[in-house]
Structures are given as structure tokens and as C-alpha cells.
Amino acid sequence: MNMSRRKFVRGAALGLAAGAAAARAQGVPEQGEMPLVVGTWPFSKFSTDAALKILLDGGPILDAVERGIWLTEDAAPEKSVGLGGRPNAAGFVQLDACIMFGPGHKAGSVAALEGIRHPISAARRVMEKSTHVMLAGEGARVFALEQGLESIPVDDRELYEKWRQTRSAQPPKKPGNHDTIALLALGADGTIAGGCSTSGLAGKLPGRVGDSPILGSGLYVDNDVGAAGATGVGENVMRYCATFMIVEFMRQGLAPHEAIVKVIQRIIQSERRDDLHINFIALDKHVRYGAAGTDGNFKYAVATPGKSLVLNNPGL
């Protein structure tokens, strides 16, 4: 359904006011405690809680991010993260993930990865054990196996050939919905890290890569400012480098929620449509956090030493 530019601008303005009122009504604090962990969707609560425990026990922040995401990769209720995720159009699962460590602006990423139980661990190995930032496809899988990561056998050639032969005879299917875990952490010492993992859009073309492993799209971390993570339709996120833009708006002084809203409004004004399905979380060095998205059912999890909550999308 198309909407006029005027209607979008008016709706965004009303949404911003309503979102602020909703946040006040929920009693959501603008500033939290340290350590602070924020994750996308209600299913990330297990991950945020696990990550927080590692931080409170004195563990490294990268371990907190990685092992927190492990839980979702192993048992995501939405079946859209890890090997239990939704297959592509050819019937096999291809995984995307990335991780960023604020100090030194370090990062690792994998895309279109098959058969590896924890793609977030493969991304971390790329960051720590290679001279590269991103590996894709079979090269990413071979690297992960060389690093000793847990895997399952992969032989998708027969599935791919069958799909290729029947593709022209079948009407195209509308891609199914999916969810991504983005996990952001702020340590007690002020260090920031984040991770992102997904099986991608259900029914996608083989080889399709979404925003999740793309730095500045699915995830961005700047240790001087803050971090942002995304979930939704990756094509609508990566064309705008959305998480990078959110962090840059925070650099200019906006609070996390304000920065997210400003980016979403910019995308809406450019796209002029209401089926974007883009949602974001963010935190900053001032120990503030926030979230917003175009999907009314979007919720996010927050964990601090004093609380563990799942919060509603406060709106635009």
C-alpha cells in the first residue's frame, strides 16, 4: 500500500510524540546501570541475561556477546537464527553473522555460511585469527572448520540443482518473515561490543546476503560513542547504512531512541511506503539505551544488574 509523503511526515511526527508518551507511561529509564546488555526481540532475553552474567562474573565482553548469542543460535523460538533457521528457496540454510569490538574498531563477519553451529563464533574467529574482516560462502565454512568450530555435514548440490531446474516452472514465492538477534553490550569499564546473527530471509535466493553481516548496516560499534543493531528486512537497512547513521546521530548528541527515530524517519521519507519492516536497538556511552521500529510487534530485551526486562516498541 502506497502512502503520500505528507501522510508519512505527519504520521512520523505524531508517532514521535506518541512514542515518547508511551516510554514515559512504561517507566522506562533513559539511563541504565552498568554493565548494560540490549537485544532484539523477546527471545533475546535469555541471551541478554546470559551475557550480563558473564560480565558480572568478570568475563570478557566478547565472550559475553558470543556466548549470549549462542543460546539464540541453538534454540531460537522463531527458528530464524542458527542451523534451525528457515531455509532459502533451494531448501538449505545459509547463515550470516558479525561481531564488533569497540577498542581498535575491530570486526569480523561471515555470510552465506552453511553447516556451522555457531556463525557468531566463526565471525569472531575471522576478527581474531585472520587478517580479514569478512569471509563468505564455502571459504567461510572451510575457515570455520579449520578453526575447529562445531559443524554438521553439508551437501546441498543436489538440492540446489533440483531447485534450479524447477524454478522456472514455479511462480515466485513471497519471502517469509524472519527475525535476527542483535546483541549490544556496554561493560562496567566503558568498553562496547556487539554481535548479530541470522539465517536470513526465508525463501531467499541462494547466496542472498542481508544486512546482518554488513558492518554499518546490521551492526555498528564505536567505542567513543555507542552501538546500534538492526532486525527486519535487510535490503531496507543496508541501502541506508542505518546502524552507522544511528551511531553518528548519537555522536552529535542525540539519545539512542532519538537517533533511531531520526534514521527511520529519513528512510521513510525516501522510500514513501509503509512495508519497510525495519527495527533497531542502540546504546551509548552515557549508559542510555533505546529502540524503535516500523513493526508494531517489535520488542526488545534489556539486562542490567538491577533488572531484566522485555520492553515494547515505543513507536516513532
- In 3-state terms, what secondary structure has residue 288? strand
Q: Which of the following is catalytic: 40, 72, 180, 191?
A: 180
Active site residue 180: yes
Whole-number Å distance between alpha carbons of 285 and 256: 10
DSSP state letter for 43: G
Q: What H or E segment, with its residue span, contains residue 238?
A: helix 234-238
Cell numbers given for 147: 578453526
Q: Which three cell numbers stand for residue 21?
A: 508518551
Of 246, 239, 247, the residue nearest 211 (C-alpha) = 239
Dist. CA 179–CA 106, nearest whole Å? 25
The Cα–Cα gap between 161 and 80 comes to 24
156-159 long-range contacts (CB < 8 A, ≥24 apart) are 156/90, 156/91, 156/92, 156/114, 159/90, 159/91, 159/92
Using CA of residue 200, residue 233, residue 243, residue 187, what is the dihedral sign? Answer: negative
Please choose, from the candidates 220, 258, 268, the residue with its C-alpha nearest in 3D space to the C-alpha of residue 241: 220
Active site residues: 180
